Structure 1
Amino acid sequence: MAEGANFAPNLQHTPSIFEVSASEVLDNLIYPAFSKIFDYFGLKLNIRINETAFSEDLSPVITFALQYFYLKQRGGSFGESFYGLQRTSALNGDLISNRKKFLSASLLTLLPYFERKLRQRSTQHESTEWEEYLIKAFHAYNAAKAVNTFLYLAKYSVSHSPILRFLGLTLRYPKDPPREDKASYMILKLLEVMAFFLQFIQWWYSNKQRQNIGGLQNPDAIRKSKLNEHQNPNGMCPICLMKISNPTACAVSGYVFCWKCIANHLKQRKKCPVSGYPIGIEDLVRIYEN
């Protein structure tokens, strides 16, 4: 009887797999949504190391600050707090320490960021051998995550994520509501309202991209005089006017360029050098001859 009485309250404070999955989806929306906003306004973080300049958006920094703020105030990430969940010790149910709050915010920010960057470089055929190994490591992590989720669903694990298991944490409903001052309460409520705005930004951007590509008209025919300037009929690149190396087609305009030529061109101008249509690196398709 005593064991049953202790088991019932613990079960009541355990969230379902749908709630923990929904909180993860909401957490995963933060970085891409902020990235689109900062990219639209042209906000970049410029770093110079040994006369070498690096440019990166502010999304990872803002994402870390947001996650750490929520972990410090409510004991859970942005998505977890939105669904009323807290990170607690898997052993005794105590709230997490400041050290684990910092580690949690770092892992919530860095893991999705590096995975997205590695996949982007792999898509652009710029990844090194070590980066390919890291991509395989992320595949293994996602497989382990799926297994851990199944174990959590079958009540064989107290943590749905390998990261939470590594940190010795689990998700629970708080027994007592978090104590917050009015300023923190207003900020957190405003951020929760912004969650719907972030989802709308993500949907609007994806929908606009489809409309832009679907609404494009066929480019005008190029006259013979202009053809000599932009494109050679004997398999020459329209940019360097030499024989095409690593042929790469633009999915929007249909023209074929050297991979390095069109990739370097897109770093300066986000449009096709022949048709003038707006394009991005994701619109390029490598052509394999063998």
Structure 2
Amino acid sequence: MSESANLRQNLQNVPSIFEITAAETLDSLIYPALSKIFDYLNLRLDFKLFGPYRLQEELSPFLTWALQFLYLRNRGSSFGESFYGLQRTDSNTGEILSRGHQFTSASILTFMPYFERKLKTRSANHTEVSIWERHLLNMFHAYHASKAIHTFLYLIKYAGSHSPIFRALRLTLRYPIEPPKDDKTTYVFLKLLEVFAFFLQFIQWWYSNDQRRKIGGTLKNPIPYKGDPVNLKDNDTRKGNCPVCLMKIDTPTACSISGYVYCWRCIISHLKEHSTCPVTGYQITVDDLVRIYET
């Protein structure tokens, strides 16, 4: 009789795949939202290491890790999982996370998406990708395929976890039997962070709309640049020549911010070291480049 009651209670504590997906989506918004905020405030780690090497990195991954570890330590769940009332427990004993599981879970939640995003960005920007980076990308593809299989098995009640990482760590997601017990200061602080989730959603919505405005037909013509060219040795560039290599343009590529046209290879090589238009000095990225196709 008691075994039947425990089985029924465990089945009732199992969250649906939709709640798990919603929690994962909320977790995935933390890093890009913080990145946009820090980019706007121009806050980055930038200092000389040794010789010509410099450390130029974002603050977002470290703050994301600290936020996730805080929730895992106090609630036994990630930021998104706590928002939806879920908790990570040991799949064998049902106990809450140990300190080692907290540290490992926070690191996986933060740095796996971070490195995957970096590798995909390097590949999309036609940056030279080493062999081990290609292997890492293939491993990420294999992981996502494995996760899709686990999700399907979890959906049909054949697997106890929705992710190969949860299975490897012997963890599972459940609804907590008792609400988390926090002191007043911690409770208020975590509640403020949960309110921050709506701000994350707003940042994501704003950024996606901004990207659609860039891609859509409402793109305004660039304002003509009236100053002197910057970062160029020869200011008397002939019409039809690339302002960087001063040769006839090969694979013409226009900058949507300044309107100037360059060789594809020249402007990509320039952006690897500088994030500005070679002629105007305006801030640009690879997303601001538009290939020109002759008809």
TM-score (norm. length: structure 1): 0.87
Q: Distance in 2 between matches of 1:5 and 1:269?
A: 62
Aligned to 2:46, the other structure's residue is in SS state strand
Q: Which residue of 2 aligns with 1:20?
A: 20
- Tell me whether 1:188 sits opposite 2:178 in the alignment: no
CA-atom RMSD in angstroms: 2.7
> Which sits farther off after the overlay, 119-128 or 71-80?
119-128
Contact between 1:115 and 1:138, CA under 8 Å: does it hold in 2? yes
- Matched letter for residue 75 of structure 2: R
Q: Which residue of 2 aligns with 1:115?
A: 116
Q: Which residue of 2 aligns with 1:242?
A: 247
Shift of 1:132: 1.6
Shift of 1:61: 0.2
Give the one of 266, 279, 288 matched to 1:273.
Answer: 279
Deviations 1:136-192 (A, max 9, x none): 111111010100000110111111111111110000000111110011001100000
Aligned to 1:217, the other structure's residue is in SS state coil
Sort the Cα spacing of 1:80 and 1:112 in 2 relative to 1 into closer, same or farther, 3 A. same
Q: Which residue of 1 aligns with 2:230?
A: none
> Which sits farther off after the overlay, 138-147 or 254-263?
254-263
Deviations 1:18-56 (A, max 9, x none): 100000000000000000000010000124332210211
> Which sits farther off after the overlay, 16-25 or 194-203?
194-203
- Matched letter for residue 120 of structure 1: T
Q: Which residue of 1 aligns with 2:10?
A: 10
Aligned to 2:88, the other structure's residue is in SS state strand
Sort the Cα spacing of 1:248 and 1:7 in 2 relative to 1 into closer, same or farther, 3 A. farther
- Matched letter for residue 45 of structure 1: L
Aligned to 2:45, the other structure's residue is in SS state strand
Q: Distance in 2 between matches of 1:75 and 1:7?
A: 22
Aligned to 2:7, the other structure's residue is in SS state helix
- Matched letter for residue 97 of structure 1: S
Question: 1:59-78, aligned counterparts within 5 Å?
Answer: 59-78=60-79
Shift of 1:284: 3.0
Question: 1:82-93, aligned counterparts within 5 Å?
Answer: 82-93=83-94
Contact between 1:86 and 1:173, CA under 8 Å: does it hold in 2? yes
Q: Distance in 2 between matches of 1:101 and 1:145?
A: 21
Shift of 1:133: 1.8
> Which sits farther off after the overlay, 122-131 or 17-26?
122-131
Deviations 1:97-132 (A, max 9, x none): 000000000000010000000000001111222212
Give the percent of matched residue pairs that are identical in Structure 1 and Structure 2. 52
> Which sits farther off after the overlay, 248-257 or 27-36?
248-257
Question: 1:34-113, aligned counterparts within 5 Å?
Answer: 34-51=34-51, 52-113=53-114
Question: 1:213-252, aligned counterparts within 5 Å?
Answer: 214-217=218-221, 229=235, 232-233=238-239, 236-244=241-249, 247=251, 249-250=253-254, 252=256
Contact between 1:15 and 1:173, CA under 8 Å: does it hold in 2? yes
Q: Distance in 1 between matches of 2:225 and 2:98?
A: 66
Q: Which residue of 1 aligns with 2:204?
A: 202
Q: Which residue of 2 aligns with 1:175?
A: 177
Q: Which residue of 2 aligns with 1:33?
A: 33
Aligned to 1:39, the other structure's residue is in SS state helix
- Please, which runs of 5 or more residues in structure 2 have no aligned partner? 227-233
Deviations 1:73-102 (A, max 9, x none): 000000000001100011121111000000
Q: Distance in 1 between matches of 2:153 and 2:147?
A: 10
Q: Which residue of 1 aligns with 2:132?
A: 130
Contact between 1:84 and 1:173, CA under 8 Å: does it hold in 2? yes
- Matched letter for residue 115 of structure 1: E
Q: Which residue of 2 aligns with 1:225?
A: none
Contact between 1:46 and 1:53, CA under 8 Å: does it hold in 2? yes
- Tell me whether 1:256 sits opposite 2:270 in the alignment: no
Sort the Cα spacing of 1:77 and 1:168 in 2 relative to 1 into closer, same or farther, 3 A. same
Q: Distance in 2 between matches of 1:47 and 1:218?
A: 34
